[in-house]
């Protein structure tokens, strides 16, 4: 069964600290993996998109890694800011019935405290 699991479910850190969010998936065949940031009640905003051949991709203070062999990805946030408080969702694009489909993780709720 195609699944995406994220950990931790929630995380509280102090402003300025770093953190790492995890994503494990069982989606096959696999097209690409992306991390989204979603503020409460708003649509997801793409942070990174990675194909199976890419190991690392950065977007400012966000750095995503991908290990296609172990089917694991991580999102590292450096020098956190209050505006980083949001849900971070890992999404894997799989191929089902000749169509691309997004398989969503449940997200990690990140809270940055001053």
Give residues in contact with other proteins (CB under 8 A). Answer: 31-32, 34, 36, 41-46, 49, 89, 93, 95, 97, 99-102, 104-107
Among candidate residues 51, 68, 50, the one with its CA nearest the CA of residue 59: 50
CA distances from 60 to 25, 48, 57 (A): 25, 10, 10
Nearer to other proteins, 15 or 93 (CB): 93
Q: How far is the CB of 72 from other proteins (least distance, A)?
A: 18
Name which of 82 and 100 has its Cβ closer to other proteins: 100
Minimum separation from the CB atom of position 93 to other proteins (A): 5
Tell me the DSSP string of 36-80: EEE-TTS--EEEEEEETT--EEEETTEEEEEETTTTEEEEEE-S-
Q: CB-wise, 69 or 97, nearer to other proteins?
A: 97
Closest distance between other proteins and the C-beta of residue 69, in Å? Answer: 21
């Amino acid at each position: 069964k195609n699944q995406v699991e994220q950990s931790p479910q929630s995380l509280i850190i102090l402003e300025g600290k770093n953190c790492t969010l995890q994503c494990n998936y069982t989606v096959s065949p696999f097209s690409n993996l992306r991390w989204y940031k979603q503020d409460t009640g708003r649509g997801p905003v793409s942070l990174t998109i990675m194909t199976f051949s890419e190991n690392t991709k950065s977007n400012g203070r966000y750095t995503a890694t991908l290990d296609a062999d172990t089917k694991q990805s991580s999102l590292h946030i450096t020098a956190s800011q209050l505006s980083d408080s949001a849900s971070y969702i890992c999404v894997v694009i799989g191929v089902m019935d000749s169509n691309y489909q997004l398989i969503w993780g449940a997200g990690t709720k990140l809270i940055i405290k001053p």
